[in-house]
Amino acid sequence: MSTTTLENNARELIRNKATASYKKRERWSKVYTGFIALALAIAIVPLASIINDLLGRGLRFITWGFFTQNVAQPSLMHPQDVGGIANAISGSAIIVGLAVAISVPLAIFLAIAIFEFKNRFMKWVLLIVEIFVGLPSVVFGVFAFVALVLVSKQFHAYYGSLALCFIMVPVSTVNSVAALRSVPSTLNEAGLSLGARPSRVMFRVIFPVALPRIMTGIFLALSRTVGETAPVLFVVGNNLFVNWNLNKQAATLPGTIWNNLNQGSPYGQLECWGIALVLIAFVFFFNILGRLFLARAEKK
Amino acid sequence: MSSIRSTETASVEVASQGRKSLAGNDRIYRGVLVVVVALVLAVVAIFLFDLLKQAVPGFRLAGWGIFGTRWSFASGQYGALPLITGTLVTTMLALLFAVPIGIGTALALVYLVPQRLRLLASSIVELLAVVPSIVYGIWGVLTMEAWLSSKAFPNLQNWFHGAWPFNGQWAGQGIALGSIVLAIMILPIVTAVSRDVIASVPRELTEGALSLGATRSQVIRKVILPTCRSGIVGAVTLATGRALGETIALATLLGGVTYHSPWPDRLFATGSTLAAEIAIDVGQLSGPSGNVLFALAIILMFIVGGVTYAGRVIVRNAQRKFQ
């Protein structure tokens, strides 16, 4: 049965109409794709500028002296003393170190508690923790100030650690709870059905399985905590010298940047780029370490 | 036979014990966990109590004037409305910039970037999301401010012939600088989370749409974005929470509420946000008017809490629609 001219014409018409619509949609598609590419380009510009400034203006400060000398103290003897940030590095190290030492066990045990006690009360506890995750860190800073500094009328380095715990514990807890819950429940049930005590099941079975994900979360929380300025700034005072004593005041990397920006000399303001470079190096180090950890664990 | 019996009943007993709350013969475990929870709750209680204890005198000091329109901490005027407006304005401007660009960048990362660069690009975006805010403060003050006050602001003012919002006196610091830097700060957050959501759209959906003859943009607009809606709302909520609470960067960039600029009514105005003002006036925390700062903190917590809650409600409703 050969096709009639009418059918041929109809088919021609439909094909042309479809092509026309397709052409029009393709044109719009190119416009939208252009928008997306433009968004990417706009996003890259400021970030490239920041990286450019960081490296361009900050690298010149990265010398051996930068890490080993204390903050500049120009004097008659040494009017050109440029100093370094050794005091800030030591301060940040001990403050963050103590914060981690307190936060990690606390977060893990709290997460275990939320995981094991499956009642309504603990649901509220988890909700409270999740709310704390979203609170601005300055709120914890002022709380630490009134609860610690105003009461004792002194500044101590470990006050900063306690303030940082408010930031590390909620995030680590929420992440650890998710990690524990991601372990297949069959493992838990198998362990219990073999007659093991719940604590043994937790520490021998569930916790090791969840550990990679927990560790990653802790590294990520750590990378965020290292850069936190506000809560620590209000409670640790300052220290011009290298200090490993938690009882004394301490300088921190972000705190030194803050002081330089607000009250410092022009040199101090330039120095901020170098300090920022060191700070970012630590932040990235922990972040990358955490993600490498996770990738390796998942591969197994 | 009987031994198998007893093992069965024993294992059933123990299994059912585990399903309930922890058994009595694991007392140390249970005890430690209870102590930890009690400790944490005690700290939370002290936190709330102290915060309120400090804030109430602040509210009383300012009276209902806390919602007044004049803020001058040094001279004792505690109308916080300029600060609240400043917080909302900077956050909204930042979102206005960061959300479209962030979602567009996320789409570009998933669909435009060639396969080999994808891992590198995603890693860069995630690293940028954890850059400490003080670094943005440095860059804003030392680089962006100079560029804005010498190039961007004069040109903008000339171009628009002094029309709102580009009117009036400009300095380097101000709402515009703060909002731009804030936008750049939350951009990686929006991009990273959106990218995860967009990349997790099941392939069958996109392939099905393409096989029906849809163009790429139609696939994105009609299939991917609606599917990702709740995830993207979550990303925006996260970004908003961060923007509202941003303290350090804005403290260095906003320039404060001044006599000449008591209200953030134009782009070139200076101003302050709740969080930034707390950081700036922290020296007065122990002084007689320090309590007002706690009142500011409480207001900020309410705003952040409200926004986060609204975001969660939206996400929950969107997910419910799916089912």
Cβ separation A117–B21 shorter than 8 A: yes
pLDDT of residue B99 exceeding 70, the answer is yes
CATH of the domain at A182: 1.10.3720.10
The C-alpha atoms of residue A41 and residue A35 are separated, in whole angstroms, by 10
Sign of the four-CA dihedral A158, A161, A162, A163: positive
Assess whether A104 and A124 both reside in one domain.
yes
Cβ separation B50–A46 shorter than 8 A: no
* Shortest Cα–Cα distance, A286 to chain B (Å): 11
The C-alpha atoms of residue B104 and residue B35 are separated, in whole angstroms, by 48
Q: pLDDT value at position B13? A: 52
For residue B132, which of A142, A279, A150 has the smallest C-alpha distance? A279
Q: Which residue of B has its CA nearest to A190?
A: B15
Cβ separation B15–A189 shorter than 8 A: yes
* Shortest Cα–Cα distance, A89 to chain B (Å): 16
**Neighbouring residues of B137: CB distance < 8 A, sequence distance ≥ 6:** A257, A261, B181, B248, B249, B251, B252, B253
pLDDT of residue A32 exceeding 80, the answer is yes
Assess whether B131 and B235 both reside in one domain.
yes
Cβ separation A117–B47 shorter than 8 A: no
Cβ separation B40–A110 shorter than 8 A: yes
Assess whether A106 and A232 both reside in one domain.
yes
pLDDT band of B323, cuts 50, 70, 90: low
Residue count of chain A, please give it: 300
Q: pLDDT value at position A73? A: 59
Of B47, B112, B132, the CB nearest to A283: B132
Q: pLDDT value at position A231? A: 86
**Which residues in chain A are closer than 8 Å to B141, comparing Cβ atoms?**
261
Of A46, A143, A199, the CB nearest to B50: A143
pLDDT band of B1, cuts 50, 70, 90: very low
Q: pLDDT value at position B43? A: 93
Cβ separation A146–B285 shorter than 8 A: yes
Assess whether B91 and B60 both reside in one domain.
no
* Shortest Cα–Cα distance, B114 to chain A (Å): 13
Domain span at residue B2 reads 1-66
Cβ separation B23–A197 shorter than 8 A: yes
Helices (H), B112-131: 115-129
Assess whether B80 and B172 both reside in one domain.
yes
Q: Which residue of A has its CA nearest to B135?
A: A276
Assess whether B168 and B267 both reside in one domain.
yes
Cβ separation B130–A283 shorter than 8 A: yes
Assess whether A48 and A191 both reside in one domain.
no
**B167/B203: higher pLDDT:** B203
Domain span at residue A257 reads 68-299
Q: pLDDT value at position A75? A: 55
Assess whether B316 and B193 both reside in one domain.
yes
pLDDT of residue B22 exceeding 70, the answer is no
Assess whether A99 and A24 both reside in one domain.
no
The C-alpha atoms of residue B279 and residue B260 are separated, in whole angstroms, by 22
Assess whether B114 and B131 both reside in one domain.
yes
Cβ separation B215–A273 shorter than 8 A: no
Q: Which residue of A has its CA nearest to B38?
A: A110
For residue B189, which of B98, B87, B123, B110 has the smallest C-alpha distance? B98
pLDDT above 70: percentage of residues in chain B: 85
| Number of domains making up chain B | 2
For residue A57, which of A227, A282, A269 has the smallest C-alpha distance? A269
Cβ separation A288–B34 shorter than 8 A: no
Q: What is the residue-wise DSSP string for A25-79?
A: HHHHHHHHHHHHHHHHHHHHHHHHHHHHHHHHHHGGG-SHHHHHS-B----SS-T
Of A128, A146, A230, the CB nearest to B248: A230
Identity (one letter) of the amino acid at B144? M
Q: Which helix (H) or strand (E) holds B91?
A: helix B81-111
Cβ separation A197–B215 shorter than 8 A: no
The C-alpha atoms of residue A45 and residue A41 are separated, in whole angstroms, by 7
Assess whether B14 and B121 both reside in one domain.
no
CATH of the domain at B142: 1.10.3720.10
Cβ separation A110–B133 shorter than 8 A: no
Choosing from B66, B85, B114, the residue where a domain stops is B66
pLDDT band of A82, cuts 50, 70, 90: low
Cβ separation B134–A262 shorter than 8 A: no
What's the whole-number average pLDDT of chain B?
81
Assess whether B143 and B267 both reside in one domain.
yes
Q: pLDDT tens digits for B256-309?
A: 777 666 777 777 778 888 888 888 888 777 777 778 888 888 889 999 989 888
pLDDT band of A224, cuts 50, 70, 90: confident
Assess whether A114 and A46 both reside in one domain.
no
Tell me whether residue B28 is exposed, middle or buried, using C-beta atoms within 10 angstroms of its C-beta: 0 to 12, 13 to 18, 19 or more. Answer: exposed
Q: Which residue of A has its CA nearest to B247?
A: A138
Of B103, B220, B308, the CB nearest to A32: B220
**Which residues in chain B are closer than 8 Å to A117, comparing Cβ atoms?**
21-22, 33, 37
And the tokens for B95? Answer: 């979102």
Q: What is the arithmetic mean of pLDDT over A192-210? A: 86
| Number of domains making up chain A | 2
Cβ separation B29–A197 shorter than 8 A: yes
The C-alpha atoms of residue A237 and residue A156 are separated, in whole angstroms, by 7
**Which residues in chain B are closer than 8 Å to A134, comparing Cβ atoms?**
241, 304-305, 308
Choosing from B66, B95, B122, the residue where a domain stops is B66
For residue A108, which of A195, A191, A177 has the smallest C-alpha distance? A177
Choosing from A36, A61, A86, the residue where a domain stops is A61
**Which residues in chain B are closer than 8 Å to A37, comparing Cβ atoms?**
108, 112
Least confident stretch, A145-154, A273-282, B132-141: A145-154
Cβ separation A125–B41 shorter than 8 A: yes
Assess whether A113 and A248 both reside in one domain.
yes
Helix, strand, coil percentages (3-state) for chain A, rounded to 5, are 80, 0, 20
The C-alpha atoms of residue A50 and residue A137 are separated, in whole angstroms, by 24
Q: pLDDT tens digits for B213-226?
A: 777 777 888 888 88
**Which residues in chain B are closer than 8 Å to A136, comparing Cβ atoms?**
244-247, 275, 300-301, 304
Q: pLDDT tens digits for B187-235?
A: 999 999 999 888 888 888 888 888 887 777 778 888 888 888 888 998 9
Of A28, A142, A273, the CB nearest to B297: A142
Assess whether A100 and A167 both reside in one domain.
yes
Assess whether A144 and A53 both reside in one domain.
no
Assess whether B192 and B160 both reside in one domain.
yes
The C-alpha atoms of residue B263 and residue A292 are separated, in whole angstroms, by 48
Choosing from B49, B66, B83, the residue where a domain stops is B66
Residue B60: CA count within 13 A, CB half-sphere? 7
Cβ separation B47–A40 shorter than 8 A: no
Assess whether B151 and B220 both reside in one domain.
yes
Q: pLDDT value at position B17? A: 47
Assess whether A144 and A32 both reside in one domain.
no
Of B29, B102, B112, the CB nearest to A199: B29
**What ipTM was estimated for this complex?**
0.83
* Shortest Cα–Cα distance, A71 to chain B (Å): 19
Q: pLDDT value at position A108? A: 94
Assess whether A25 and A141 both reside in one domain.
no
Dihedral of CA atoms A152, A157, A163, A167 in degrees, nearest 10, equals 180
The C-alpha atoms of residue A249 and residue A290 are separated, in whole angstroms, by 30
Assess whether B108 and B45 both reside in one domain.
no
Assess whether A135 and A35 both reside in one domain.
no
Assess whether A112 and A256 both reside in one domain.
yes
What is the pTM assigned to this prediction?
A: 0.84
pLDDT band of A199, cuts 50, 70, 90: confident
Assess whether B138 and B30 both reside in one domain.
no
Tell me which residue has tokens 């910039």.
Answer: B97
* Shortest Cα–Cα distance, A77 to chain B (Å): 31
